A = this chain, B = another copy of it.
Amino acid sequence: MPAVDALVCFALYAANRTTTQAYRVLLEPWNLTYPQYIALVTLWNDGEQTVGSLGEALQLDSGTLSPMLARMEASGYVVRRRDDDDERVVIVSLTARGVEMREELAHVPQCIAYGAGLTDADSARELIDALHQLTEAMKGLRDQPDTVLAALGAPRRAKAASRRRSA
């Protein structure tokens, strides 16, 4: 048991990768990855939408989404078309096959919940809340590192970080 184990962030890092591995096994028959799966979930729930709004939902930028959506289009799950009213915007929609997948994959969240022992909603809620709290705190640190560094009397970084994009 290494020392990094004591760090919350390593536990988070390890849990995230193991979870992705579990999804990989479940999604493999459909040639889907976890990021592709959550994109599908979003489309199932919210309907067709632009690359931008999908990126906002998943917190991913076009550098990640463009190639991923191209692969999903190649798999026949979604289609992309330019918006007639604004040619800059690309609208992502589910194909008939993509809609079908919703029922075919209905077992996945159940399987994860059951496998994770998250049968009772309260413990899941607690974990989700803790993760959201951590996420918000880390956003603060990411965007205002100098504030925290100053509070600790630590060496100030040389220059402001490069601009972060909306995603």
Does A133 touch B at the CB level, under 8 Å?
yes
Q: How many copies does the complex hold?
A: 2
CB distance from A85 to the nearest CB of B (A): 24
Are A45 and B3 closer than 8 Å at their CB atoms?
yes
**Chain B nearest CB: distance from A55 CB in Å?**
11
Chain A at the B interface: mostly helix, strand, loop or mixed? helix
User: How many of chain A's residues touch chain B, expressed as a range?
Assistant: 35 or more
Interface residues of A (CB under 8 A from B): 2-4, 6-26, 28-29, 34, 38, 41-42, 45-46, 57-59, 107, 109-112, 114-118, 123-124, 126-128, 130-135, 137-142, 145, 148-149, 151-152, 154-155, 157-158, 161
A133 to chain B, nearest CB (A): 7
Query: A130's contact among B130, B141, B145, by CB below 8 Å, is which?
Result: B130
